[in-house]
Amino acid sequence: MQKTANGSRFSLPITQTLLVMKLTVLLLTIAVFSAHGNSMAQNLTISGKGLTLKEVFTTIEKQSGYVIIANEGIFNGTRTVSLDVTNMPLREVLDLVLKAQLLHYSIHGKTIFLSRKAAYPPALPTDGGLKIASLIIQPDPQPVTGTIVDSLGRPLQGVSVQLDPGNRGGTTNKEGVFSIGKVPPGNYTIEITFVNHLPIVRKITVGNSPLELGNLVMKINPGDMKEIVVINTGYQKLKPNELAGAADVITKKMLMEQTGTNILERLNGMTGSLNFNNKVLPGNATGNPNSVLNMTIRGYSTINGTTDPLIILNNFPYTGDINNIDPNDVESIVILKDAAATAMWGIRAANGVIVITTSGSKFGQKTRVNYRYTISATPEPDLSKVDVADGPEVYDFIAEHMGKSLPSILQDYQAIPELDFTGWQYYKGHISEAEFNEKMERLKAIHPRQQWADLLYKTGISQTHSLNVSGGSETLTWVLAVNREDRSGTLQEKSNRNNIRMTTGFKMSDKLRLELGIAYTKSYNKTGAPAYNSLKDGNNYMSTRGLQNPDGTPYGFYINYSPVRMDTVGAGLLGDLKFYPLTDWKQNYTTTTLENYTKNFRLVYTPLKDLELAVSLQSVNQTSAALNRAEKESYYARYNVAYFANIDYARRIVNYQLPKGEIHRIRNNYSNSFNGRVDLNYKKKIGKGLLVFNGAFDISESVNKADGEFLVGYEDNPRKYTYPHQQPVYSSLVGGTVYPIYSTDILTPKEVTQRNISTTASLAYIYDERLVFNVNGRRDGANILGVNVNERWKPNFSAGLNWRLHKEKFFNIDAVSNLTVGISSGFVGNVDVSKSSRLVATSFGYHSTFTELPGYYQTAIPPNPELRWEKTSHTNFKLDIGLFNDRIQLFSNIFLKNVRDLYLSTTVDPIQALATQYIANAGKMNVRGYELSLMAKIIDSKSFGYDITFSTARTKESVKYYPNTYTHGENLRMMLQNDGVALTSLPALFSNMPLFSIISFDGKMGVNNKGEYEVEYDGQVFNNGIELLSYVVKNGKDFTGIKNYGTGTPTFTGAFHNRFRYRNWSLLVSLQAELGHYFKYPTDNVNFLTLSNAFYRRWQKPGDEAHTELPEYTIPENKSWFSYRMYSRENIMKGGVIRINNIQLNYTIPTRKLKVLNLAFNAQNLGKIWTANGKGYDYRNLNFMSWNSEEKYYAFTVNVGF
């Protein structure tokens, strides 16, 4: 691409793309606007004296819509002109302007080519005033032809071909052929240029016959083909040198290196500052709708508030299901990290901002079609790796110990597993030894783990089809993106998703542009079979209960009441009331259907070259319905019909209060949001600097509603059902008590309305490409906080400065191509929609719009007029280094976050309110860390290449202040209970300790010769866990006898990407590391029959204490060592791990017919290759009692583009 002397950008000639698609009303509208654009007048009106040619042609370019192509310096030495023309045709204006100039023009399509005229030959000598005539026979002009192709031999259309001198030229057709006719014989220079390709310049000689140049190969320009990095903040699109803040850009090429169907999961390992966590804070433990993504940017910035980063989709906050976004339709993702980058998003930016931009098109773009098909497979899990004890010895142990410990008369509510019940029958004398042995042999022959693997787990298959068609003309752009995904999981769960998105842009005039878009998503999910050992009877695992009897019939058991009670109370009249896990999941399942409509409108007005005004509107409507369908044969339907029945034992008649049939529990959610924005963008060169300004006014409203239905006796054909009787409770057959049939969480309607208003201003000044100064200001208002207006309307501010030292005159180190230092600082907030400064009440009773039952409300959280959002100050120091023309690049950041006004629950005077707790701002915490990213091209030859990307980050959170009313001993007890995963006991925090701290007793620990577990603490030896913790609560004053290991969250994270290239092949190998943390390995609990393989290492006789740390297993375990032994140091291990995250093998098939034909194979989540604990334990995938491993994932992708 070239520029004229006046600095106007001239694009290469582009033939107009014919748009022959009339599939929808939107595309019909496109055709209407296209016709409007093509009817632009070519008559010109120009008036002025002493105009330079560059001024004239700039005016011609703006009024006509034509593109000017010329060499640099074309206007040097030309004369000024004076014009006064009105509605004059284009050619007449050109003839008039160039009449006395040494310039020549030619018009091809919508392109005007300018070139200098050939110099006139000197005048012939004269004799006596008489012209000496010489008869010179001139040869006939000849055509010059040729074909332009790329390095793969594919023809290139639209290539510019020019001859000098003579101002002759043309462009290639779709076959890549050009023809320049009537070229006089002589010597010429032919110049061939095309976008993103190296130019061809050569000398040619035209003789007395046509000149055929044959195939001319144009090579890709490596410099032009580099991915253009654009940082989209959601308000502005900036170049990297125009932003003083910290941001990571994930390009489409990087996103396509993974194949997951969730767009955020593709970010795993892309940048060191973004981490996916398996942690539980109160914010996401209580169902906060903005704490569901389980990911952090630069650590946690809250404890009890919203934890999710803010998601921006196409410039507006996104509140829908993240699974609705088609990853193949995403063009780029920008991660905004520090205050200078996030401050424009104000009170929702404390956790970082992720800006997602979908694919688009440009004016004049050729039609592009891309189709991508991916099929992936997730193998069945290897259940042999589950740490559970289920051998014959375990069966004997449970039968004996449970049989002896259970009471002689079983309670009604005790759901006794068959193994326990068999032991009870034998040891209480109800069955003979022979009968006992026969039952035990049958139970031991079931093999639950193997049955789950054989009968329920399958290979998961997923298929994705993605089609993207885009293009444009001089006045029109358009994109059509379609996606279909079908998935069958390893537990036979089913899901599908359909996406369609259409966008179009109209150039209504030189100053006015309209952009329209609509997107539709529909998804369907159906639950599958239960995971191995996921079914629990209360707290008891079901590792000894299988799916099939030895004879092949489904294995069933009681799960709510004791077998004795269920067999006798029903008098044989209630039918089969056993639970059958092999088939019940097919009869009791949940389907979720979701629909989402998103509509976008944007009108852009450019009154001046440097000024842009825009109005943007977005409307999002989403509905979802979750239906839990318990069919007539399901356990839930059979049990509830029987549970609420009454029996006339004398007449053996059953009175059913619930009709037989299906039971449907339905929960509907409705979400409607509106976003509006008016913004102004101004970019202008001022002296040696560039001024970039953005100002915006935003307003938004979101309304979320929910309701539900509870239907009983449902039948499909003919369709009929009933609501439960209009009484709050029903009599219960079992136990003789009364209970409600349904729960309020299904029926209770909910509605939350959130309104936000904000003003934003961002100003950047780039001086001489050396200094970048950026300042942002924003004021936010929200209806959910504050009672007075001033309390709802709070400002945020940030500023940043970058100094590009390598641009300074004094800097003369040739090897250093980039040396940039920077600093930024500012304030952002964290608003939580689940918190309110007003009175919060909770409904009680069983009110329902369907049953018309009465209900009432009780104060849950008293009002706090002073409640405000959490406030974070964020400072960032930056150092970027580039070596050897950026062949090696190093990016580093040091950041400090101070969080104030943390949400917390504190006590309230009982005289003031019925509730004992209310929400206040009082806590403080700090986050410190650094980020380091290294990119290097190790080998970069024509046929082979090897480059690496290494990124790492260190993050440390520490609580500075978190007041509570507990004693030190009580806090210490709760800290000992912290497992490093879930932090639900908020008071258990100490100053300067990190979140998820892991501590243990530090005294002597071990098993004595009686098989008892002993702990030394405060000079005493305890062999009873309950007594030990009681002593800690009463006497604990400091950390004497306690060891703090650190945090359960990785403090160091890193990713190492190796990319190899050999001709048309490429290979990516990505490793991921998490270091600097600890975890607690779960321990057995005999009372709950939580028995891992540690069972086989337990103390059984004197002398075993020499080689085991596990006490004797007894039932009941009345000293609570199995509950509290998890606080001992034997269970605390280093959590550091390095995994193989992703491998991709890619092959590009050479083809002349297609733009791209690419095949790729991916293998993801391949497992650990190193662990810091030396035992092979991966803290994310402990597989304790149940399958908890990141599933391996294999995918094959075909990508076709033309």
Q: Region 127-143: what's the mean pLDDT?
A: 53
Where residue 730 falls among pLDDT bands split at 50, 70, 90? low
Q: What is the pLDDT of residues 1055-1107, one digit of tens each?
A: 999 999 999 999 999 999 999 999 988 888 777 777 889 899 999 999 999 99
- Which residues does 378 contact at the CB level (< 8 Å), separation at least 6? 459, 460, 461, 462, 489, 490, 1191, 1192, 1193, 1194
Give the residues across from 969 on adjacent strands. none
Place of tokens 């002896």: 404
Helix (H) or strand (E) holding 701: strand 689-715
Task: Supply the pLDDT for residue 257.
Answer: 93
| Contact (CB, 8 A) for 67 and 112 | yes
> What mean pLDDT is reported for the chain?
82
Question: What's the CA gap between 252 and 261, in Å, rounded?
Answer: 15
Give the residues across from 613 on adjacent strands. 605, 680
Q: What is the pLDDT of residues 638-669, one digit of tens each?
A: 988 888 888 888 888 888 888 889 999 999 99
Fill in the amino acid letter for 1148: T
Q: How many CB atoms lie within 10 A of CB 112?
A: 22
Fill in the amino acid letter for 267: L
Task: Supply the pLDDT for residue 221.
Answer: 62
Task: Supply the pLDDT for residue 196.
Answer: 66
Task: Supply the pLDDT for residue 624.
Answer: 95
Q: Region 5-32: what's the mean pLDDT?
A: 33
Which candidate, 447, 686, 463, places its Cα nearest to that of 545? 447
Where residue 130 falls among pLDDT bands split at 50, 70, 90? very low
Q: What is the pLDDT of residues 1023-1050, one digit of tens each?
A: 887 888 888 888 877 777 888 888 888 9
- Which residues does 41 contact at the CB level (< 8 Å), separation at least 6? none
- Which residues does 902 contact at the CB level (< 8 Å), separation at least 6? 302, 303, 304, 305, 870, 921, 922, 923, 924, 925, 962
Q: CA 318 → CA 265, 335, 524, 673, 690, distances in Å?
A: 17, 15, 20, 10, 32
> Pick the residue with more confidence: 587 or 688?
587
Whether the per-residue pLDDT at 447 is higher than 60: the answer is yes
What tokens does 1164 get?
């993801």
Whether the per-residue pLDDT at 11 is higher than 50: the answer is no
Task: Supply the pLDDT for residue 824.
Answer: 94
Task: Supply the pLDDT for residue 733.
Answer: 62
Q: What is the pLDDT of residues 318-340, one digit of tens each?
A: 988 888 899 999 999 999 998 88
Q: Which of 82-91, 909-918, 919-928, 1056-1065 has the highest mean pLDDT?
A: 1056-1065
What tokens does 1100 get?
């059984």
Task: Supply the pLDDT for residue 665.
Answer: 92
Domain at 236-374, CATH class: mainly beta
Place of tokens 């694919």: 359
Q: What is the pLDDT of residues 292-301, one digit of tens each?
A: 888 899 988 8
Whether the per-residue pLDDT at 71 is higher than 80: the answer is no
Q: Which of 14-18, 227-231, 256-260, 540-544 has the highest mean pLDDT?
A: 256-260
Q: Among the listed ranges 170-184, 368-382, 458-472, which one has the minimum average pLDDT value?
A: 170-184
| Contact (CB, 8 A) for 1000 and 1128 | yes
- Verify cis geometry, omega within 30 degrees of 0, for the bond prior to 718: yes
Where residue 915 falls among pLDDT bands split at 50, 70, 90? low
Percent of the chain with pLDDT over 90: 38
Fill in the amino acid letter for 1158: N
Cα 414-417-422 angle, rounded to 5 deg: 105
Q: Region 484-494: what's the mean pLDDT?
A: 96
| Contact (CB, 8 A) for 618 and 674 | yes
Strands across the sheet with 200-206, in order?
168-171, 160-164, 186-193, 200-206
Question: What's the CA gap between 711 and 720, in Å, rounded?
Answer: 10
Q: What is the pLDDT of residues 249-289, one digit of tens each?
A: 999 999 999 988 899 989 988 887 888 876 766 555 455 66
Task: Supply the pLDDT for residue 955.
Answer: 93
What tokens does 206 get?
């035209």
569, HSE (Cβ side, Cα atoms, 13 Å):
20
DSSP string, 725-791: PSSS-EE-TTTS-EE-SS-HHHH--EEEEEEEEEEEEEEEEEETTTEEEEEEEEEEEETTS-SSHHH
Q: Region 573-585: what's the mean pLDDT?
A: 89
- Which residues does 416 contact at the CB level (< 8 Å), separation at least 6? 406, 410, 424, 558, 562, 563
Length of the chain: 1202
> Pick the residue with more confidence: 241 or 250?
250
Question: What's the CA gap between 672 and 668, in Å, rounded?
Answer: 13
Which candidate, 621, 623, 564, 629, places its Cα nearest to that of 591? 629
Cα 979-980-981 angle, rounded to 5 deg: 90
Task: Supply the pLDDT for residue 907.
Answer: 65
Place of tokens 């009364």: 738
- Which residues does 477 contact at the CB level (< 8 Å), separation at least 6? 360, 361, 362, 363, 365, 470, 471, 503, 504, 505
Q: What ranges do the domains of the chain cover?
A: 2-116, 140-217, 236-374, 383-455+532-589
DSSP state of 1038: S
Q: What is the pLDDT of residues 801-825, one digit of tens each?
A: 999 999 998 998 989 999 999 999 9
Task: Supply the pLDDT for residue 850.
Answer: 39
Which candidate, 735, 731, 743, places its Cα nearest to that of 413? 735
Give the residues across from 1157 on adjacent strands. 1200
Question: What's the CA gap between 351 and 283, in Å, rounded?
Answer: 13
b/e string for 391-423 if b means 16 or more Cβ within 10 A?
A: eeebbebbbebbbebbeeebeeebbbbbbbbbb
Task: Supply the pLDDT for residue 383.
Answer: 92
| Contact (CB, 8 A) for 763 and 777 | no
Which candidate, 923, 911, 924, 905, places its Cα nearest to that of 840? 905
CATH topology of domain 2-116: Phage tail protein beta-alpha-beta fold (3.55.50)
| Contact (CB, 8 A) for 490 and 460 | yes
Whether the per-residue pLDDT at 12 is higher than 50: the answer is no
Note if the pTM is more than 0.75.
yes
Q: Among the listed ranges 70-74, 838-842, 1033-1037, 1130-1134, which one has the minimum average pLDDT value?
A: 838-842
Which candidate, 1069, 1074, 1046, places its Cα nearest to that of 272? 1074
Q: Region 549-578: what's the mean pLDDT?
A: 79
Which candidate, 830, 758, 760, 764, places its Cα nearest to that of 801? 764
Task: Supply the pLDDT for residue 280.
Answer: 64
359, HSE (Cβ side, Cα atoms, 13 Å):
25
Which candidate, 900, 876, 870, 895, places its Cα nearest to that of 955? 895
Task: Supply the pLDDT for residue 1.
Answer: 34
Q: Region 158-169: what's the mean pLDDT?
A: 80
Task: Supply the pLDDT for residue 832.
Answer: 78
Report how far Cα 995 is from the mean position of its chain's Cα atoms.
Answer: 24
Task: Supply the pLDDT for residue 574.
Answer: 81
What tokens does 857 get?
């409300």
Task: Supply the pLDDT for residue 21.
Answer: 32
Task: Supply the pLDDT for residue 1123.
Answer: 56
Whether the per-residue pLDDT at 436 is higher than 90: the answer is yes
> Pick the residue with more confidence: 945 or 989?
945
Where residue 731 falls among pLDDT bands split at 50, 70, 90? low
Whether the per-residue pLDDT at 1011 is higher than 60: the answer is yes
Whether the per-residue pLDDT at 119 is higher than 50: the answer is no
Report how far Cα 1164 is from the mean position of its chain's Cα atoms.
Answer: 17
What tokens does 685 get?
């060169």
Whether the per-residue pLDDT at 302 is higher than 50: the answer is yes
Q: Among the listed ranges 236-240, 319-323, 975-979, 1022-1026, which one has the minimum average pLDDT value?
A: 975-979
Task: Supply the pLDDT for residue 538.
Answer: 58
Q: Strand, helix or coil at 305?
A: coil
Whether the per-residue pLDDT at 977 is higher than 80: the answer is no
Task: Supply the pLDDT for residue 1023.
Answer: 84
- Which residues does 432 contact at the CB level (< 8 Å), separation at least 6? none
Q: Sort strands 1137-1148 and 1065-1075 into parallel, antiparallel or unpaired.
A: antiparallel
Question: What's the CA gap between 15 and 1100, in Å, rounded?
Answer: 87
- Decide: residue 232, CB within 10 A, 0-12 exposed, 13-18 middle, 19+ buried: buried
First vs last C-alpha separation in the chain: 23
Whether the per-residue pLDDT at 60 is higher than 90: the answer is no
Helix (H) or strand (E) holding 524: strand 512-526
Where residue 423 falls among pLDDT bands split at 50, 70, 90? very high
Residue 953 has φ and ψ, to the nearest 5°, of -150, 145
| Contact (CB, 8 A) for 617 and 676 | yes
Q: Which of 584-593, 838-847, 967-976, 991-1000 has the highest mean pLDDT?
A: 584-593
Domain at 140-217, CATH class: mainly beta
What tokens does 56 get?
């004239």
| Contact (CB, 8 A) for 881 and 816 | yes
Question: What's the CA gap between 517 and 504, in Å, rounded?
Answer: 6
Task: Supply the pLDDT for residue 847.
Answer: 41
